[in-house]
Structure 1
Amino acid sequence: MIPPTAEAPSQGEAVSIAPRQGGRDRYFDLLRALALFRVVLYHLVGWAWLPLVFPSMGVMFALAGTLMARSLKRPAMQVIRSRVRRLLPPMWVLGAVCITGMVVHGWRPGPSVVFWILPLSDPPFLAAEWSGDMAEPLWYLRAYLWFVLLSPLLLRCLRRLPWPTLLAPVALSAFLSFGYLSLPERIDSALTDFTTFGACWILGMAREQVILQRLPRYVIPSVAPFIMLAGLWWAVHHGFGTEQDLELDGIPTAQALWSLGAVFLLLHFSPSWQTWPPRLRRWDGVITLLNSRAVTVYLWHNICIFIAAMTWDQLWEFEVLGENVPWLLDSWVPVLILAWALIALCIVLFGSAEDLAAKRRPRLWPNGGG
């Protein structure tokens, strides 16, 4: 699983933000870069504890909500058009590659192919692993698009009733988990994403609206751990840690509570960095690149992992390697390195779509260098 851009200068729309010179946006850049790295690592190794250590999707939705609230100082329709315009072209590039591959393999598009153009619902794909890997990240773009469309309404509700608005998605998630409401699959998936990560998006908006800053400093550190414990309790009582369900992602209400509590803490303790701390200065280029090409990284990382793993597995065909270094062939580290090498290639090949979508001069490797 993955997933906005600042207004000026603008970057890719789904999960990136232009590095700014002042204050806490450098900290946000770091959070987004860590979130992307964790997403790639999780989709490769599948360790169930990784979303507990760092809930990447909650973090990315919260940062996107912050940017959306900042942008809504301008007319709402103007902001929505700008966000949608910068969201779709990188997805269309992925769709062109994926649809071409599926047609070559005998797939014939139907009416639902429209969701490859406007991802209001899940797009169709072949029952092949490579096709599913390419289409899977689009759930984030679908959720992001709905959050963008609903943001003017959410912001009005937040200003009038901040805490009921913030907690409403979690309450709705708990209600849906009991199965009291049966919905068509396309509607159910979109609603589940909203209830799972809606509180994080609204929390980001609340921070931009200075609602969180009005609380006494001790409130969030006192309350957030209990929210996270409630999420963990819900997860354990709904199969987390068993052979049937080892992923927090499969338990929406637990994911919603854990992500909300963690994001509360990350936003509360955000440092004011006018410049990078000394230990992080060496990573400035990498962090800038990941933020500048976050949409490209998120959209293409799954298929890069698939190709990397498939390529590395071919080395078992060489008996000398299987006999002498089986531990190396079994290791996930070389696969991760190869996957990031392929992601870097995708940045060069397809990343310029983010610049074109933002009406900016295309750049092959936007790491902040000269």
Structure 2
Amino acid sequence: MRRLRQLAERTPPGRDRYVDLLRALAIALVVLGHWGVTVIGYEHGRPSGHSALPDLPWAWPLTWVAQVMPVFFLVGGYANAASLAARRGRGGTASGWLVDRSARLVRPTTALLLVLAAGAAVATARGAEPAQVRTVVWFATIPLWFLVAYFVVVALTPPMYALHRRLGLAVPVALAGLVALGDLGRLLGPAALADGNYLFAWLAVHQLGFAWYDARSPELPRRRRLPLDRRAGATLLTVGLAALVLLTTVGPYPVAMLHVPGERLDNAAPPSLALLAAATGQLGLILLLRRPAGRRLRRSDPWQAVIAVNAVVLTVFLWHLTAAILLVGLLDALGVLPTPPVGSAAWWAWRIPWLLALAVVLAALVAVFGPIEARTRRPPGPTGPQGSHGSTPAAAPGGRAGTPGRTSTALAVAGYAALVTGLLLNSLAPKTAPEPLGLPAPALVAYLAGAGLLRLLRSGWGSRG
């Protein structure tokens, strides 16, 4: 508590604390949402889990708020623009920024993958079926779908921010048009046309984060700045909600912004025009709440809580489904795993103790693995902490900032490409594939190769050519 109090006291007056709050709230909603809608049952004598959404159609409109992936990319755009601008302001390079920026994402993710692979190897050696081992690991690595897209938008931040400086808000509008074109492919063919939506949709929201960051500089052209006043918030909320209602009633899109088996389209995979409409409404709500939330965050206690969550925010996200697996396994081993029907009184009554028990397990995991993430972050300073919306430490002469441009850029891009390839191979592999390590070997090799390359670059390797 003393450390948190010191960090809170050192926060500069000009820091936009609301951005940090949004990140913390988004993580909390993801975790509670995944835990809350999970249905536990038995399949072939083993515990299994699935979403309760197909059985709760009345809850589908709630996903318009509960689907918080757009908030991640909005806040990420703000943070990435701020840290890139700070790095360049000190004379650093985009490649040096990419290398340093990877640390806050790679270290916690590597810890998760190595622990899961080790646990899977032990289970396989003790006679567990490789297909069952893969199913468990597949479930635990569902959060890595998000990191696939986020690694890509981070790697594209330097050129996309340059494009934003030139064209401003026209960029996300054009990207939304590409998303609409992809949706036409899903509806009329070819369906593969929609695959680009995984990139175009999240890039569009990420670009809005750039415009939010530039709103702090009124001297910049209006096309580069996101209006932050209440009128803009009310307009975006109204337009977003109106478009969402039309798209999900008159249009062909399902109401739920999360995956529901049996629906013709999935608004989240790949992201659809309806999801971008929901993101527009969410942005409007965010702007409407910005000032009252900002006033409250000037108080020490709420701000300390936000700092505490953000110090381990990625760890919480990465391990929350592993916490569910561990709890289900423990209760099953004890013979006390409840499996009430979805929507029954018993199922609703089980929600509270279920969430509390999961929180205890996750807290234990964060206590063990949280320090890995916390070591990659800096306390709030004049430009904010690494991993939030501030800068990364300046490199020593001949170190990261001094790495030759073309060589370092190529190596950094190669590192990111290997990370994305590894995570994508794991996510695309069937969840029942017989994998003794739980993860496809090529996926693990590709990811570790990328992580190792970026680690070498952060240490200064290759800085002389």
Identify the TM-score tier after normalising by the shorter chain. 0.7 to 0.9
2: CA distance, partners of 1:127 / 1:229: 45
SS class of match (2:103): helix
2: CA distance, partners of 1:24 / 1:54: 27
**Match of 1:334?**
353
- The amino acid across from 2:78 in the alignment is T
Mark the CA change 1:102 to 1:146 in structure 2 (over 3 Å): closer, same or farther: same
**Match of 1:258?**
278
2: CA distance, partners of 1:235 / 1:103: 45
Mark the CA change 1:222 to 1:328 in structure 2 (over 3 Å): closer, same or farther: closer
**Match of 1:177?**
183
1:70 aligns with 2:82: yes
User: 8 Å contact 2:108–2:373 — kept in the other structure?
Assistant: yes
Name which of structure 1's ranges 263-272 and 75-84 shifts more when overlaid on structure 2. 263-272
Larger Rg: 2
**Match of 1:141?**
147
* TM-superposed deviation, 1:258: 0.7
* TM-superposed deviation, 1:274: 7.0
- The amino acid across from 2:179 in the alignment is S
- The amino acid across from 1:96 in the alignment is L
Name which of structure 1's ranges 326-335 and 134-143 shifts more when overlaid on structure 2. 326-335
1:33 aligns with 2:24: yes
- The amino acid across from 2:159 in the alignment is L
1:59 aligns with 2:71: yes
Name which of structure 1's ranges 127-136 and 348-357 shifts more when overlaid on structure 2. 127-136
Name which of structure 1's ranges 45-54 and 91-100 shifts more when overlaid on structure 2. 45-54
After superposition, the C-alpha distances for 1:197-218 in whole angstroms (9 at most, x for unaligned) are 2222111111111233568863
2: CA distance, partners of 1:354 / 1:335: 27
User: 8 Å contact 1:227–1:260 — kept in the other structure?
Assistant: yes
1: CA distance, partners of 2:166 / 2:314: 33
* TM-superposed deviation, 1:252: 1.9
Mark the CA change 1:286 to 1:308 in structure 2 (over 3 Å): closer, same or farther: farther
**Match of 1:352?**
371
After superposition, the C-alpha distances for 1:301-337 in whole angstroms (9 at most, x for unaligned) are 1111233345456777499xxxxxx848951111111
**Gap runs ≥5 in structure 1:** 1-10, 12-18, 108-124, 320-325, 361-370
2: CA distance, partners of 1:71 / 1:359: 12
2: CA distance, partners of 1:29 / 1:220: 19
**Gap runs ≥5 in structure 2:** 1-6, 38-58, 126-130, 216-223, 339-344, 380-465
* TM-superposed deviation, 1:259: 1.2
* TM-superposed deviation, 1:26: 2.3
SS class of match (1:22): coil
Mark the CA change 1:49 to 1:231 in structure 2 (over 3 Å): closer, same or farther: closer
Say which of 188, 195, 207 aligns to 2:212. Answer: 207
User: 8 Å contact 1:42–1:50 — kept in the other structure?
Assistant: no
Mark the CA change 1:54 to 1:27 in structure 2 (over 3 Å): closer, same or farther: farther
Q: Percent identity?
A: 25
SS class of match (1:332): helix
* TM-superposed deviation, 1:273: 6.7
SS class of match (2:13): coil
- The amino acid across from 2:136 in the alignment is W
- The amino acid across from 1:138 in the alignment is L
- The amino acid across from 1:334 in the alignment is P
SS class of match (2:291): coil
After superposition, the C-alpha distances for 1:36-78 in whole angstroms (9 at most, x for unaligned) are 1110111122354443124421112111110111112223112
User: 8 Å contact 1:313–1:329 — kept in the other structure?
Assistant: no
User: 8 Å contact 1:224–1:261 — kept in the other structure?
Assistant: yes
Q: Between Structure 1 and Structure 2, how many residues are aligned?
A: 315
**Match of 1:111?**
none
Mark the CA change 1:100 to 1:355 in structure 2 (over 3 Å): closer, same or farther: same
**Match of 2:219?**
none
Mark the CA change 1:155 to 1:338 in structure 2 (over 3 Å): closer, same or farther: same
- The amino acid across from 1:130 in the alignment is V
1:297 aligns with 2:338: no
After superposition, the C-alpha distances for 1:163-192 in whole angstroms (9 at most, x for unaligned) are 2202223222211122255659xx93xx43
1: CA distance, partners of 2:63 / 2:150: 19
**Match of 2:36?**
45
TM-score by length of 1: 0.73
Give the aligned CA root-mean-square deviation in angstroms.
3.6
Mark the CA change 1:255 to 1:228 in structure 2 (over 3 Å): closer, same or farther: same
SS class of match (2:253): coil
